[in-house]
Chains A and B, each alone.
Chain A
């Protein structure tokens, strides 16, 4: 088992009232799954994704990731854990505008302290695999949205994570670009056994996954 959430609660206090963002979430994810999280705006999809990604905390419950109990870990270990095993893909790509495609891909490797030659090989590999070798010296602003997201996915993958968390990865793309990205996810999931959890509004995209989780007002239904 890759990860397990047990009775997760998350709330904020507003005007003396407790507003639940996540309410009693129980979820276990096996390695190699491809899960789509759906639900209306404000239902807690992104919050759930961020909790899983350890970017956000929760108020109650237990979270185990690869046999580590995340809720008891210190910040430093937690960030080491997600640095090692988790890659993120965002709706608005979030590439560093002032770095080229090549440099953007290299960035995560720097934080993992890979050596120069290793980095070169890994980035080259990734560029090849996504057929963007010709674009390596361009800046994000010179790419189309689809191409930017391609770089975004490549950046998420370059550290060889076990889990990819994608928050509406095709939200800013047209239908053709969307299909490319979703196809890519499917291939990654099937061929490389990468676990994927994506948040999406689209039934069509959700169908790429192997399991759908529906959220409403912070609860799983």
Chain B
């Protein structure tokens, strides 16, 4: 029986190639989306979950009221917390402290010098985090203050893969005072693919504590990250309730309260709002899963619509089978087998397509996904096939097999009202999704464009940035003087941190006229060079910059507009404020500029002229002379840092990278929207063809009675245009709400106007019109005599 049904099915395909292809293309496109998104989502979900005790690894976070009524959450903590956790909190089995060296450490052997990123980590690091060791003993690797563990990549780059790095000496330097010492390699590790963190070397935290200026070891100096491996069965809420006043109990004036949160959640739920986890990448995981399922659903709807619309062709078969003895169950089974067969074909095609598209998809998402037929994937594939097959086959199977065979054979089945409504409803649903996606694409693109072109308050063009390291540690200012003399260099300066991701802050300052509320005001706090304001093209609002203030810069300060406003200063220039160090006199106020992502409001900011903690050099280059200027900068850099490559980046590129996630979302939504529209139109195409076929007689009679071809075309297209129109009515308000919601997370955003929505509607209508119109015209142009003769 299966054989006969398969034969019937295959021969049916031969006869109805077009609807078979529509279904095949639609379903395989839907399945490709699902497959690729599945790979991506499972990779995202697996991030940082490879640690053996992942469920018990927690990170300590610190909440502080920010003085503007909100709570800010920080990952950094005082180094004193390590021993406190180890000794005073019985729930903690092991505690680990990590100090992240800012990028740009120098690792040197006699033969080689390279730039690297590294950690100081306390003894139990490799016990708590399951980072596999290629060589060395994980319980002892961080015990000796003069030893270092390096990544396999670093080992290969320093010594080559043939040499055993254990026992070799390396010199590691970072920053002005943080580090400069010789270490012996006693471990090599391999960072797993699913790790969100990546570092080239790890040195013992003891070394950090030893070298640290004792002035900075107190409860207010937050430099390190703290992790805890909790004992099994610890109730985290109860522990956090206990931890709330942990720091205040040790340090009276401290406003911080600490809490523990699962470490592996950081990757997907990395944002904190008002002291609580507030999502993050997880929203993209949900978003894309949802979109992929919707696209598959659209394809399934095509299948349902086409198979019920073409029912008349199948009904005869069903009638005959019923008469010669088939019962309904066997028929339903037959239909389901057919649709599962189709979805299996589609799956094969989807798998092939996914395999072809994977390099492109990896490039798009910045991942290294691969198609490996693991049991999990095979299971997912089978599940997807069955789901697709059964879902799309269910309605036709139940619907087509319910009729009385005699009526069927006499052709007396007419489409019922409910059935027509259902079919139309499904089309409306398809177009709603498509329109939503079109709006999404245009809104995301407009917002990104807005971000790219927004006046940031500084000029990011033709500025290159590079790390202060090695020879520049001591000779930075000489280097800059030399650099400024190079032809093609407009100006040069330096700063602490980075222009695109700045997170140093300070608080507890006081000034005349300070109110109780503004006492807690937290400032972005940057050390910059004298030429910083000029190099970056930041505008002064009042006062003067550091350029003309060579001497005594140590007792001066420049603030931004927001700071002045929040501090409530009427005449800021000349006011002296206490920065918990030397008192500083305000000499200038700059107009606000954006140094954080546009998700956040501009924060109050203080610019101090100091070289301490400065990590980045900035050079402004004359437009059009980039190539030769960079070449001469590079050779100057070589003079100061022999053997170290000149590793620079353009500020505008760096700026774009801040919004990389959004760029990816934009590109992905573009393709998703394209697919949704394509599949919806395929379905519409099939339905229009069928409708034209069904109304052949009606069309003929109308034409005989005098309707023109164009009138008939309009009538036929109108039937479908109405549906697209209804979809617009439903989808556009929803799109508006979603767009408003998405944009609301940006502090700086485009204002929505009707254009985006009307545009999406017009696109949907045009595409639908093209699809349906051709069919309608075709039908309207037929000679009526033939259709009427048939009767």
Chain A complexes with chain B: yes
A contact residues vs B (CB 8 Å cutoff): 50, 55-56, 76, 79, 82-83, 88, 90, 94-96, 98-99, 103, 106-108, 110-112, 155, 159
* In contact, A55 and B15 (Cβ under 8 angstroms): no
Of the 9-residue stretches B6-14, B390-398, B487-495, which lies at the interface with chain A? B6-14
**Given A96-B320, A98-B15, 16 new contacts (CB under 8 A):** A55-B405, A55-B406, A56-B406, A83-B325, A88-B323, A94-B320, A94-B323, A95-B320, A96-B317, A98-B12, A99-B4, A99-B7, A99-B8, A106-B4, A111-B324, A111-B325
Q: Identify 13 residue pairs between A and B in the complex whose beta-carbon atoms are under 8 Å apart, listed by A's number.
A: A55-B405, A88-B324, A94-B319, A96-B8, A98-B11, A98-B12, A99-B11, A107-B321, A108-B324, A108-B325, A111-B1, A111-B330, A112-B325
The interface residues of chain A lying within 8 Å CB-to-CB of B330 are: 111
Cα distance, A155 to B321, chains bound together (Å): 12
With A98-B8, A103-B7, A159-B325 as given contacts, are A110 and B1 in contact (CB-CB < 8 Å)? yes
* In contact, B327 and A94 (Cβ under 8 angstroms): no
Cβ-based interface call for B422 (8 A): no
Cα distance, A95 to B319, chains bound together (Å): 10
A107 contact from B4, B11, B316, B327, Cβ within 8 A: B4
Q: Which of B1, B12, B323 has the most CB of A within 10 A?
A: B323
* In contact, B11 and A50 (Cβ under 8 angstroms): no
CB distance from A27 to the nearest CB of B (A): 19
Main DSSP-derived SS at the B contact region: helix
**Chain B residue with Cβ nearest A88:** B323
The interface residues of chain A lying within 8 Å CB-to-CB of B326 are: 111
The interface residues of chain A lying within 8 Å CB-to-CB of B317 are: 96, 98
CB distance from A80 to the nearest CB of B (A): 9
* In contact, B409 and A94 (Cβ under 8 angstroms): yes
Cα distance, A79 to B15, chains bound together (Å): 32
Q: Which of B12, B324, B405 has the most CB of A within 10 A?
A: B324
The interface residues of chain A lying within 8 Å CB-to-CB of B320 are: 94-96
- Nearest 5 A-B pairs (CB), nearest first? A111-B325, A83-B325, A98-B11, A108-B324, A110-B1
With A90-B409, A94-B316, A99-B8 as given contacts, are A107 and B15 in contact (CB-CB < 8 Å)? no
The interface residues of chain A lying within 8 Å CB-to-CB of B405 are: 55
**Chain B residue with Cβ nearest A90:** B409
* In contact, B4 and A110 (Cβ under 8 angstroms): yes
B404 contact from A55, A108, A111, A159, Cβ within 8 A: A55
* In contact, A56 and B15 (Cβ under 8 angstroms): no
* In contact, A56 and B4 (Cβ under 8 angstroms): no
The interface residues of chain B lying within 8 Å CB-to-CB of A159 are: 325
The interface residues of chain A lying within 8 Å CB-to-CB of B316 are: 94
**Chain A residue with Cβ nearest B324:** A108
**Chain A residue with Cβ nearest B14:** A98
B contact residues vs A (CB 8 Å cutoff): 1, 4, 7-8, 11-12, 15, 316-317, 319-321, 323-327, 330, 404-406, 409
Cα distance, A90 to B405, chains bound together (Å): 12
CB distance from A201 to the nearest CB of B (A): 17
CB distance from B1 to the nearest CB of A (A): 4
CB distance from B307 to the nearest CB of A (A): 16
CB < 8 Å A-B pair total: 55
The interface residues of chain A lying within 8 Å CB-to-CB of B324 are: 88, 107-108, 111, 155
CB distance from B11 to the nearest CB of A (A): 4
**Chain A residue with Cβ nearest B330:** A111
The interface residues of chain B lying within 8 Å CB-to-CB of A98 are: 7-8, 11-12, 15, 317
The interface residues of chain B lying within 8 Å CB-to-CB of A110 are: 1, 4
CB distance from B279 to the nearest CB of A (A): 54
**Chain B residue with Cβ nearest A95:** B320
The interface residues of chain B lying within 8 Å CB-to-CB of A76 are: 327
Cα distance, A159 to B324, chains bound together (Å): 9
* In contact, A50 and B406 (Cβ under 8 angstroms): yes
With A56-B406, A103-B7 as given contacts, are A79 and B327 in contact (CB-CB < 8 Å)? yes
With A99-B7, A110-B4 as given contacts, are A56 and B404 in contact (CB-CB < 8 Å)? yes
The interface residues of chain B lying within 8 Å CB-to-CB of A88 are: 323-324
Cα distance, A56 to B408, chains bound together (Å): 12
Cα distance, A76 to B325, chains bound together (Å): 11
**Chain A residue with Cβ nearest B1:** A110
**Chain A residue with Cβ nearest B12:** A98
**Chain A residue with Cβ nearest B313:** A97
Cα distance, A82 to B11, chains bound together (Å): 29
Cα distance, A193 to B210, chains bound together (Å): 111
Cα distance, A210 to B444, chains bound together (Å): 83
CB distance from B455 to the nearest CB of A (A): 69
Cα distance, A76 to B317, chains bound together (Å): 20
* In contact, A103 and B409 (Cβ under 8 angstroms): no
Q: Which of A50, A88, A94, A98 has the most CB of B within 10 A?
A: A98
The interface residues of chain B lying within 8 Å CB-to-CB of A90 are: 409
The interface residues of chain A lying within 8 Å CB-to-CB of B323 are: 55, 88, 94
CB distance from A111 to the nearest CB of B (A): 4
The interface residues of chain B lying within 8 Å CB-to-CB of A99 are: 4, 7-8, 11
CB distance from B408 to the nearest CB of A (A): 10
Cα distance, A88 to B405, chains bound together (Å): 12
The interface residues of chain B lying within 8 Å CB-to-CB of A55 are: 323, 404-406
CB distance from A52 to the nearest CB of B (A): 12
Cα distance, A98 to B319, chains bound together (Å): 14
The interface residues of chain B lying within 8 Å CB-to-CB of A56 are: 404, 406
Cα distance, A79 to B8, chains bound together (Å): 24
* In contact, B4 and A103 (Cβ under 8 angstroms): yes
Cα distance, A94 to B316, chains bound together (Å): 8
CB distance from B413 to the nearest CB of A (A): 15
CB distance from B38 to the nearest CB of A (A): 37
**Chain B residue with Cβ nearest A113:** B1
Q: Which of A76, A79, A96, A112 has the most CB of B within 10 A?
A: A96
Cα distance, A178 to B317, chains bound together (Å): 25
CB distance from A93 to the nearest CB of B (A): 10
CB distance from A41 to the nearest CB of B (A): 14
The interface residues of chain B lying within 8 Å CB-to-CB of A112 are: 325
CB distance from B404 to the nearest CB of A (A): 7
CB distance from B728 to the nearest CB of A (A): 41
Cα distance, A88 to B12, chains bound together (Å): 25
Cα distance, A105 to B130, chains bound together (Å): 68
Cα distance, A50 to B412, chains bound together (Å): 15
The interface residues of chain A lying within 8 Å CB-to-CB of B321 are: 96, 107, 111
The interface residues of chain A lying within 8 Å CB-to-CB of B7 are: 98-99, 103
Cα distance, A78 to B319, chains bound together (Å): 17
Cα distance, A113 to B320, chains bound together (Å): 17
The interface residues of chain A lying within 8 Å CB-to-CB of B409 are: 90, 94
Cα distance, A123 to B447, chains bound together (Å): 72
